[in-house]
């Protein structure tokens, strides 16, 4: 239970840092904060402890491939930011992310079975 509380506090701290940075002159740095491997570190520790080093390697490799949906999300936001409302832009980017993430998961399961 204590580890769950720690994880929640860590997530809240990240959101707090993003909120502060988004109001600063270096607002663009707020886009870098979510890329700090906070949750990846947690996931990697858990996977390593429960599944071992080989599973950790596969998780890291999948993490590299998972940059593709994030890239698609960012390209979509960049392309639509001045052409759509913020809600429409972010919604479209999220849909593209979900579709590409689904394709990634399907492909990963298909080729790694």
pLDDT attached to residue 113:
67
Q: Is residue 103 part of a domain?
A: yes
DSSP state of 26: T
Q: Is residue 100 part of a domain?
A: yes
* Beta carbons within 8 Å of 79's beta carbon, 6+ residues apart: none
Query: Into how many domains does the chain fold?
Result: 1
Half-sphere exposure of 37 (CA within 13 A, CB side): 10
* pLDDT-based confidence at residue 96 (cuts at 50, 70, 90): very high
Q: Is residue 71 part of a domain?
A: yes
Closest to 43 (Cα-Cα) out of 16, 19, 11: 11
pLDDT digits (tens, 9 = 90+) for 8-57: 898 898 899 999 999 999 898 988 888 888 788 889 999 999 999 999 99
Q: Which helix (H) or strand (E) holds 96?
A: helix 86-111
DSSP state of 52: -
Assessment of whether the complete model's pTM goes beyond 0.95 = no
Asked whether the predicted pLDDT for residue 85 surpasses 70, the reply is: yes
Q: Is residue 60 part of a domain?
A: yes
């Amino acid at each position: 239970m204590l580890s769950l509380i720690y994880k929640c506090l860590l997530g809240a701290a990240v959101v707090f840092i993003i909120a502060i940075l988004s109001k600063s002159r270096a607002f663009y740095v707020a886009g870098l904060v979510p890329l700090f491997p906070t949750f990846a570190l947690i996931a990697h520790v858990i996977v390593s402890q429960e599944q071992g080093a080989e599973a950790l390697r596969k998780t890291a490799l999948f993490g590299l491939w998972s940059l593709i949906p994030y890239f698609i999300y960012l390209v979509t936001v960049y392309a639509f930011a001045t052409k759509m409302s913020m809600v429409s832009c972010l919604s479209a980017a999220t849909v593209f992310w979900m579709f590409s993430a689904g394709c990634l998961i399907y492909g990963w399961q298909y080729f790694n079975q």
